[in-house]
Amino acid sequence: MRATLIIKNIDNLITLKGENNPRRGKKQGEVGLINNGIVAINNDKIIYVGSGGLPSDIEIDENTVFINGKGKTVTPGLVDAHTHLVHGGSREHELSMKLKGVSYLEILASGGGIHSTMEATRNATFDELYDKANKSLDTMLSFGVTTVEAKSGYGIEDFDTELRQLEVAKKLNEDHPVDIVSTFMGAHAIPIKYKDNPDEFVDIIIKEMLPEVKKRDLAKFCDVFCEDSVFTIEQTKRILLEAKNKYGFIPKIHADEIVSLGGAELAAEIGCITADHLISASDAGIKAMAEKGIIANVLPGTSFNLQEGHFARAKKMIEENVPVAISTDYNPGSCPTENLQLVMSFASLIMKLTPEEVITGVTINGASALGLENEIGSLMEGKYADLVIFDAPNLDYIIYHFGVNHTEKVIKKGKLVYEKNNCMN
Ligand SMILES: N=CN[C@@H](CCC(=O)O)C(=O)O
Ligand SMILES: [Zn+2]
């Protein structure tokens, strides 16, 4: 077969080769490292991964492009499997409150937090939302991210805004090189108007919103913020079971982020693809997730930004055989950063995951968190040619030398879509 692009002499080629399913336990630390690696691509797919030269059945012609991987580390394209990509406004006005010790839930209860982003999102036009999210996607891509999950959830009872967020994500998926997978998250906060009767709002989500989102084919997943003073376990269960059984959405939960409510246990009971956050997940919840093979999508950037000193027990989760994915949670309140590389360093330096466990978390396990493990997440023949060339001699360096961008080039579906700019001096 003819190669359109070849990356050769790669010092550290991290393939993640293996089965197309979330890696857990010891396997979370096995990354399929090849020294002096070579990857051959035909159009959008990988046709060969190995060491040294190419086998004789791979044809090269005058149009084949070569990239030299000497001194570089190459990984699969990174997957950011939890973001609130499309929103209006920003919440830096919360910083001074946070510094005085006002908590995330206190800001939310006083009508700020998610409510203030709701207002900014409702007041934003399609184009304003599109331009802002497009800029964030460019930033994510520069950090090596090639696939992103994007949630609605800033329209809430204003269903038009929910739909607008999802339409923006759909259009960006068509226009931008980064792939976007959408999640409907109408259950992101209890609207102030339903404060005394939240079940009425739950009924609206179930009876009016879910069927319409499905009819318009705007989301693959359905997510609920299950939290103290937000949606209860019972309400979360009602929404997600209906979403799953009646409309075929794949369920996810913002689980045990702040208070240990039993979100992890519920994720196992319902058969969610992921439970996300899990900062306060109980031992029983972790065990239940392991038994059912639910992916823990941990978000250490959020813990860092919440400033309360609590991080999900990701190391224990791996020891207990729960597959762990790692994502940014990019949003304007609890994690205003698109920098997945920084979040990877937090996962290692604070949660104590090895660099191998971390890279698995943002590649094959991130892909699995989006149900895309057969297409992306590892560098293997037949998969999409999504990969990152890091200007780094090895994987440890990317994690250890934290807070900067190590990306040199990003290839998405076989095309060069990002290259680091040179300084003008
Ligand atoms: N916790 C709920 N949702 C987001 C935060 C959204 C916001 O504060 O705007 C999260 O995952 O952290
Ligand atoms: Zn979130």
Residue 384 confidence (pLDDT) above 90:
yes
- Say if residues 37 and 67 touch (Cβ distance below 8 Å): no
Q: Is the CB of 355 under 6 A from ligand 1?
A: no
Residue 15 confidence (pLDDT) above 90:
yes
The tokens describing 226, both together, are 């299950």
The pLDDT value given to residue 422? 76
Measured CA to CA, the distance from residue 341 to residue 233 in angstroms comes to 33
Nearest to 241 by CA among 208, 273, 249, 227: 249
Strands 78-80 and 73-76, bridge-based pairing? unpaired
Residue 425 confidence (pLDDT) above 80:
no
- Specify the DSSP class assigned to residue 27: G
99 exposure class (CB count in 10 Å sphere: 0-12, 13-18, 19+): exposed
Measure the N-to-C terminal CA separation of the chain; round to a whole number of Å. 43
268-306 confidence digits (pLDDT tens): 999 999 999 999 999 999 999 999 999 999 999 999 999
CA of 384 to the centre of ligand 2 (A): 27
- Say if residues 32 and 366 touch (Cβ distance below 8 Å): no
The pLDDT value given to residue 355? 98
Alpha-carbon distances of 273 from 269, 296, 329, 343, rounded to whole Å: 11, 9, 17, 22
ipTM: 0.96
Q: Is 301 annotated as a binding residue?
A: no
Q: Is 406 annotated as a binding residue?
A: no
CA-closest residue to ligand 1 atom 5: 334
Measured CA to CA, the distance from residue 341 to residue 362 in angstroms comes to 10
- Specify the DSSP class assigned to residue 13: E
CA 423 to chain centre: 30
The pLDDT value given to residue 188? 96
Nearest to 356 by CA among 9, 8, 32, 4: 32
- Specify the DSSP class assigned to residue 207: I
Q: Is 84 annotated as a binding residue?
A: yes
Which listed ligand is nearest to 231 at the C-alpha? 1
Q: Is 331 annotated as a binding residue?
A: yes
111 confidence band (pLDDT: 50, 70, 90)? confident
Categorise residue 117: left if φ over 0, alpha if ψ from -120 to 50, beta otherwise. alpha
164-194 confidence digits (pLDDT tens): 999 999 999 999 999 999 999 999 999 989 9
CA of 390 to the centre of ligand 1 (A): 30
- What's the whole-number average pLDDT of the chain? 97
347-372 confidence digits (pLDDT tens): 999 999 999 999 999 999 999 999 99
Our CA angle for 315, 361, 169, nearest 5°, is 135
* Global pTM value: 0.98
Residue 44: CB atoms within 10 A of its CB come to: 15
- Say if residues 361 and 351 touch (Cβ distance below 8 Å): no
Q: Which of 221, 257, 331 for a ligand 1 pocket mutation test, highest count of atoms within 8 Å of Cβ?
A: 331
Q: Is the CB of 331 under 6 A from ligand 1?
A: yes
